[in-house]
Amino acid sequence: MARILDGTAIAAAIKAEVAEKVRALAAKGIRPGLAAVLVGNVAASEIYVRSKVQTCADLGLYSELITPSADITTEAMLDLVRALNDREEIDGILIQLPLPAQVDTKALLDAVDPAKDVDGFHPVNAGRLQAGRPALAPCTPAGVIEILKRSRIPIAGQNAVVVGRSDIVGKPAAMLLLHQNATVTICHSKTRDLGAVTREADILVAAIGRPGFITAEMVKPGATVIDVGINRITDRAEFERCFAGNAKREAAFLKRGSTIVGDVHPAAFEVAGAYTPVPGGVGPLTIAMLMANTVQVAQMRRELPRRGL
């Protein structure tokens, strides 16, 4: 039976470590601060950002939730970011994506001070990550590495395949795995004979954003499968494709009209040696690593020695 990699438990351990660091900083009169910018009224984003703000409170970090209206202009957003860059009590700046269509997302992310870029999206931090220099890594890929390390899954010398090439997950995950001495292949929707490539993976990271895309036939027996995807499905046919015969899941689907599935088909987990579930796998690590990054930038901005995360 495949081993379940419990992201919730790992995230709790990281949060406890962060809380300890926050207490140590408090003894020096320092309180790390995070500004979260949420534009408009997207329900899913509101829930996610408020969870981040609540976690800050739980761990002793200072936080601000800034909520511009959905019709805000790029220039007004740039002014907001510049103001946050200048505020000494704000160590980290988080801009919740996606942004409204009229806002130039790249210009906005580029405007964030790299020293306050807790999401690790700024080109400076991306370049440092690629060069193997100290950098703020995007939270989800950093969480993937923490899951592997804390679950004692070997990385060095392993064949790692990342399915997905986004700047937010796929590319940085591949780079982090490479820095841990894995042999890394990046795949995507245009990869020829994708299954032949994924079947060579000792570590398979699915981050392509398609429900149940990685099937059992695409997984090497005994491989570690890291499912980054979180997809809400409402279509009955799609539900049957992923969860046929699962009475408990069907009852919940009929009650709610939807269910969550990752980028990996549930049948693939029967082939794997270890895997992250959805939910309860990679997801909880994203917020935990955001907290860790916020403490890290607070230490870096004040040139304090860093330990651990």
Residue 186 neighbours by CB under 8 Å, 6+ apart: 161, 162, 165, 170, 171, 174
Tens digits of residue pLDDT in 77-113: 999 999 999 999 999 999 999 899 999 999 999 999 9
Alpha helices by DSSP H, listed for the chain, are 7-26, 43-59, 74-86, 105-111, 123-131, 139-150, 170-179, 194-198, 236-243, 247-256, 283-301
Positive/negative CA dihedral, 15, 283, 218, 241: positive
pLDDT in tens, 111-146: 999 999 999 999 999 999 999 888 899 999 999 999
Query: For 133, how many CA atoms within 13 A lie in the half-sphere containing its CB?
Result: 6
- pLDDT at position 28: 92
Catalytic annotation, pick one of 91, 96, 116, 202: 96
Residue 90's pLDDT is what? 97
Percent of the chain with pLDDT over 70: 98
Strands 159-163 and 183-187: parallel
Q: Which architecture does CATH list for 27-116?
A: 3-Layer(aba) Sandwich (3.40)
Cβ proximity of 116 and 92 under 8 Å = yes
Active site residue 96: yes
Q: Provide DSSP, 235-264.
A: -HHHHHHHHTT-HHHHHHHHHHS-EEE-SB
Amino acid at 121: F
pLDDT given for residue 189 in this prediction: 85
Whether the per-residue pLDDT at 304 is higher than 80: the answer is no
Q: What are phi and psi of 50, to 5 degrees?
A: -65, -30
Q: What is the largest CA-CA distance in the chain?
A: 58
Residue 302 clears pLDDT 90, i.e. is over it: no
- Selecting among 91, 113, 117, 119, the annotated active-site residue is 119
Is the pLDDT assigned to residue 203 strictly greater than 90? Answer: yes
The answer for residues whose C-beta is within 8 angstroms of residue 238's C-beta and 6 or more apart is 211, 212
CATH fold for the domain made of 139-284: Rossmann fold (3.40.50)
- The residues spanned by each domain of the chain are 27-116, 139-284
- Out of 30-39, 130-139, 283-292, pick the least confident: 130-139
Beta-carbon contacts of residue 124 (< 8 Å; ≥ 6 apart):
114, 117
- Fold match between 27-116 and 139-284? yes
**Catalytic (active site) residue 28:** no
Contact of 211 with 191, CB cutoff 8 Å: no
Q: Return the amino acid letter for 74.
A: T
Mean pLDDT of the chain: 94
Q: Catalytic residue, from 21, 52, 171, 220: name it.
A: 52
Contact 271, 216 (CB under 8 A): yes
